[in-house]
Amino acid sequence: MSKNEILQKLREEGYRITNQRRLIIDAILANDCSCCKEIYYEVHKKDPDIGIATVYRMIKTLEEIGIVDRKIVFKLSCPDGEEHEESCCREGL
């Protein structure tokens, strides 16, 4: 999904398009961020006033409108060459 499609979906759902929301969407699209904290660190570099709660709320909003699926897992490479699946974001946020 492109940035414009995400912004349009947010508008359709009645959300304002703020600079912080744009930064979070940009971070998600530009990086393979595997968890909310990584997204927060990327966004915080550009806007030190943004809080981690804002990132968690935005991820939850994107999940509720069907743009993000936090249940997707990522693979960690271990020194022994095995790959293990780990969940990134905590449930119930």
Q: pLDDT higher for 80 or 52?
A: 52
- Type of residue numbered 13: E
> What does the pLDDT average to over 9-26?
95
- CA 51, CA 46: separation in Å to the nearest integer? 12
pLDDT at 20 over 90: yes
Q: Where are the domains of the chain?
A: 3-86
CB-count exposure of residue 59 (10 Å: 0-12, 13-18, 19+): buried
61, 26, 17, 12: which is closest to 53 by C-alpha?
61
Q: What is the pLDDT of residues 27-77, one digit of tens each?
A: 988 877 778 899 999 999 999 999 999 999 999 999 899 888 766 543 334
- For the domain covering 3-86, report its CATH number: 1.10.10.10
